[in-house]
Amino acid sequence: MKFITENIFLIAIAFVSGAMLVWPLMRRGVGGAAVGTLEATMLINQKDAIVLDVRESAEFAQSHILNSRNIPLGEVEARLKELERYREKPVIVACATGNRSGSAAAMLRKHGFTGAVNLAGGIAAWQQAGLPTVK
């Protein structure tokens, strides 16, 4: 006990640095399953996956993945009926960087879309990989 009271500052630093190491791992698990750009293109080409872009309409209009559907994150739950025919297909959910799409993919899985996955890194990763987008 004496060691703890005399070294509380060092213990706090160790705890905070440990939490900082674990935080990215915990954040990654929030959105559930994620796929990279290579896996996403394979799902699109081989399994006829659809791409659901959950960015706002103005962001979508600037550039998006070919043949993707746009339903902003705030509207996804209210517009689930529009996606009902894709329940059995892989659904790749995309946003700008992968944060909003992780939430949307988790919501879709909660509603029975077992093939819903997050596009890791979002549209930014897609463009960085040199994959095409349209305006």
**Domain regions of the chain by residue span:** 1-30, 31-128
pLDDT of amino acid 2: 80
pLDDT of amino acid 32: 63
Between β-strands 91-94 and 116-119, what pairing exists: parallel, antiparallel or unpaired?
parallel
pLDDT of amino acid 5: 78
The pTM assigned to this predicted structure is 0.74
Once rounded to an integer, what is the mean pLDDT over residues 71-98? 90
Q: Which of 20-24, 46-50, 81-85 shows the lowest mean pLDDT across its residues?
A: 20-24
Once rounded to an integer, what is the mean pLDDT over residues 86-97? 90
pLDDT-based confidence at residue 24 (cuts at 50, 70, 90) = low
Question: Helix 8-30 crosses helix 99-110 at what angle (to 10 degrees)?
Answer: 60
pLDDT-based confidence at residue 15 (cuts at 50, 70, 90) = confident
d(CA 102, CA 44): 18
pLDDT of amino acid 12: 84
Once rounded to an integer, what is the mean pLDDT over residues 56-84? 92
Residue 6 Rama label (left phi>0; alpha psi -120 to 50; beta): alpha
Is the confidence at residue 29, as pLDDT, over 70? Answer: no
92's tokens: 């790749």
Query: Residues near 6 by Cβ (< 8 Å), separated by ≥ 6?
Result: none
CATH class of 31-128: alpha beta
